[in-house]
Amino acid sequence: MSAIEHYFVPQPSRWPIVGACGALLLAVGAATWVNDGAKAPYLLLLGAVWLGYVLVGWFGDIISEGRAGAYNGQVERSFRVGMAWFIFSEIVVFAILFWALLYMRFFVEHDLAAGETKALIWPSFSGGWPASGPGIAGTFTAMSGKGIPLLNTLMLLASGGTVTLAMAALERNRRGLLILCLLVTVCLGVLFLRNQASEYHHAYTAMHLTLATGAYGATFFMLTGLHGLHVAIGSMFLLVMLGRVLAGDFTAKDHLAFQAATWYWHFVGVVWLILFVIVYWL
């Protein structure tokens, strides 16, 4: 490290405490929703808007500091390490959820179909997956990997290619190609979410699959819904990058935020490939 490099210390900020209040409001809204509170939707909406305001303001300050040249090499290395640890924490979350599904699929389902456990917990269970649960009325159909899931997989693979091409275009200072590739990537992300919403509607109305449909329904909607949230966040991330590119930000050597956005998008794509195999095909 150069001897003249000094770590940037930001000015005191109101955003941490304001963000904590918004997160608390969102948590209260979620708890109220679980307990069938009448005001839950309004609390959730207010909390989401509050956090959105915090994110816009906080990241706006960071962008302004970067444009003002406040960050040196040491700060940029810290940002890279921080983004890497953030993605690692997300990997751990998805790994736990994948393991929970696989554990139910290959261990719990086997134990419930044999021995004393079956007689005590679920006497009518004969084995097989997908499974609902004891005391759950009605029937449902498992989701197929064909159709929308396969199309979404192809779109995410294509978006991984376009965002990689966008990064290459930025490093070669080809702004027109950069803008085009970013726009295509964001559109593919939005189409992915639109297709997932259509799949959810079909699952609820035609296949009678809901969050309350036992182990299969809960894990299906938890994993696909959490991934869909990450696609939405990644699409907004890239949309902000597109706006900054249009505003003249980033150069071939100075593009840390853009690089972080591409890392996140590749993470979203890899997680979907694993999810596609585990949830739709196993």
Interatomic CA distance for residues 60 and 64, integer angstroms: 6
pLDDT at residue 122 above 90? Answer: no
For range 267-281, the mean pLDDT? 94
Q: Confidence band (pLDDT; 50, 70, 90) for 206? A: confident
Per-residue confidence (pLDDT) for residue 1, from 0 to 100: 44
- Quickly state the pLDDT bin for 246 (edges 50, 70, 90): very high
| Reported confidence tier of residue 110, pLDDT bands at 50, 70, 90 | confident
Question: Is residue 21 scored above 60 in pLDDT?
Answer: yes
Nearest to 13 by CA among 46, 80, 58: 58
Contacts of 183 (CB under 8 A, 6+ apart): 242
As annotated, the residues of the chain forming the CATH 1.10.287.70 domain(s) are 8-70
As a CATH number, domain 8-70 is 1.10.287.70
Question: Which CATH code of 3.50.30.10, 3.40.1390.10, 1.10.760.10, 1.20.120.80 fits the domain covering 128-281?
Answer: 1.20.120.80
In the block, tokens 């921080």 appear at: 82
What does the alpha-carbon distance between residue 131 and residue 207 come to, in Å, rounded to a whole number?
Answer: 14
Alpha-carbon span 19 to 109, nearest angstrom: 42
Asked if the model's pLDDT at residue 183 lies above 80, the reply is yes
Choose between 78 and 230: higher pLDDT.
230
- Residue range 125-129: mean pLDDT, rounded: 72
CA–CA separation, 235 vs 94, rounded Å? Answer: 19
The amino acid at 220: F
Predicted TM-score (pTM) of the model is 0.87
The CB density around residue 193, as the number of other CB atoms within 10 Å, is 15
User: Is 157:269 a contact under the CB 8 Å cutoff?
Assistant: yes
The pLDDT value given to residue 156:
95
Predicted pLDDT of residue 240: 92
Kindly report, as residue ranges, where domains of CATH 1.20.120.80 are found in the chain. 128-281
The predicted-structure confidence for 29-52, as pLDDT tens digits, reads as follows: 989 988 888 888 999 999 999 999
Residue 112 has pLDDT above 50, yes or no: yes
